């Protein structure tokens, strides 16, 4: 075990990944390995998981995935389902030559849960500050491609607003800005008094399955949903309430005019978390013209667990690998 002044790295392990069906870079997936990392935010242990191709320096940069309100990072981004090619988003992008990371926010998964707090969006920004500081020091990288989904997109956007120099390119999936005309938040706000009474809320398999039934039930394969629910519930039987409270009563939390990096907004065709009009107004106010708005056909919420997940990979790959502008006016 080695330690630095503000972080620690221990219990690393290497995993061989089961072979998938024929797909681009299929021959590389069994070579992808995983390493477990830990860092400290005060007295809080934060768990990080890293996937990469061994034996060579990453060629295409670093990616950090940020999870949502009701699941930890590994079930979301490193889910393995038999006969589902590159079921793990982390494996897919690692096979392309990226150095890929995810982190459990405080109160989730393997990270600390001892503090009596709700783990709101602002706390998640602090988690990302700690995680990116660790990754940059460990890898020696300058900026990181950041992806957040749902409340993870809010965390990622708020972090980018505060720490623009740490982010190369920003991907916001299932993002919500003001919450205007959001069917999901209309229903969730009915439970706000209940959320305000406690710091955490219980979850189970039925709750996870409800995420896939609320918008358009046919978007995800039931066996993938079951694997996802099992992986989530093996790590947690409750989740912090902070992001739910923020999304129900404190929006907007991000100013698009202060997000200066290249940004893509991804919206599932059937996702009820935000209206297209809400997201387009946010998009129009992004000052960096290296930006993209994408509606993903046949997708509701939880993009990487949908039937059309390979399309999401393709969109993100194109965004992260896009040629940089030769000519541009300063912001």
Residue 149 pLDDT:
98
Residue 23 pLDDT:
66
Residue 219 pLDDT:
97
Residue 6 pLDDT:
38
Residue 154 pLDDT:
98
Cα–Cα distance measured from residue 22 to residue 6, given in angstroms and rounded to the nearest whole number? 43
- Asked whether residue 122 is domain-assigned, the answer is yes
Cα–Cα distance measured from residue 323 to residue 9, given in angstroms and rounded to the nearest whole number? 35
DSSP alpha helix (H) spans, the chain = 73-77, 89-95, 121-139, 151-162, 183-189, 192-197, 205-213, 222-235, 242-249, 276-284, 309-320
Q: How many domains does the chain have?
A: 1
Those residues with Cβ within 8 angstroms of residue 178's Cβ, 6 or more apart along the chain or in another chain: 251, 252, 278
Q: DSSP class of residue 302?
A: S
Low-confidence residues of the chain, pLDDT below 50?
1-21
Residue 58 pLDDT:
64
- Asked whether residue 328 is domain-assigned, the answer is no
| End-to-end CA, the chain | 44
Q: Please, are residues 181 and 280 in contact by the beta-carbon 8 Å criterion?
A: no
Residue 100's SS3 state is strand
- Asked whether residue 330 is domain-assigned, the answer is no
Residue 76 pLDDT:
98
- Asked whether residue 252 is domain-assigned, the answer is yes
- Asked whether residue 326 is domain-assigned, the answer is no
pTM of the model: 0.92
- CATH number for position 92: 3.40.50.1820
- Token pair, residue 155, equals 């965390």
For residue 30, give its domain range. Answer: 2-320
Residue 25 pLDDT:
80
């Amino acid at each position: 075990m080695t330690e630095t002044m503000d972080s620690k790295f221990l219990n690393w392990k290497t995993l061989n990944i089961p072979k998938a069906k024929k797909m681009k870079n299929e021959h590389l997936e069994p070579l992808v390995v995983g390493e477990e990392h830990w860092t400290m935010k005060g007295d809080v242990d934060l768990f990080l998981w890293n996937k990469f191709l061994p034996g060579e320096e990453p060629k295409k940069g670093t990616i950090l995935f940020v999870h949502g309100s009701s699941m930890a990072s590994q079930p979301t981004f490193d889910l393995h389902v038999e006969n589902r090619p590159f079921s793990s988003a982390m494996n897919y992008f690692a096979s392309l030559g990226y150095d890929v990371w995810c982190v459990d926010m405080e109160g989730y998964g393997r990270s600390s849960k001892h503090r009596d707090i709700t783990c709101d969006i602002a706390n998640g920004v602090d988690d990302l500050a700690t995680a990116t500081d660790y990754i940059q020091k460990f890898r020696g990288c300058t900026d990181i491609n950041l992806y957040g989904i749902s409340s993870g997109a809010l965390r990622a956007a708020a972090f980018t607003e505060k720490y623009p120099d740490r982010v190369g390119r920003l991907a916001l999936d299932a993002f919500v800005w003001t919450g205007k005309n959001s069917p999901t938040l209309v229903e969730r706000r009915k439970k706000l008094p209940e959320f305000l009474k406690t710091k955490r809320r219980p979850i189970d398999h039925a709750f996870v399955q409800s995420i896939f039934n609320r918008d358009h039930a046919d978007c995800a394969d039931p066996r993938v949903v079951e694997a996802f629910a099992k992986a989530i519930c093996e790590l947690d039987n409750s989740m912090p309430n902070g992001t739910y409270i923020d999304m129900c009563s404190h929006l907007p939390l991000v100013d698009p005019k202060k997000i200066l990096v290249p940004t893509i907004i991804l919206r599932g065709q059937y996702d009820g978390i935000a209206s297209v009009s809400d997201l387009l107004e946010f998009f129009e106010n992004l000052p960096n013209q290296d930006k993209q708005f994408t509606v993903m056909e046949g997708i509701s919420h939880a993009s990487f667990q949908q039937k059309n997940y390979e399309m999401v990979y393709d969109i993100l790959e194109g965004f992260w690998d896009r040629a940089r502008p030769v000519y541009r006016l300063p912001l």
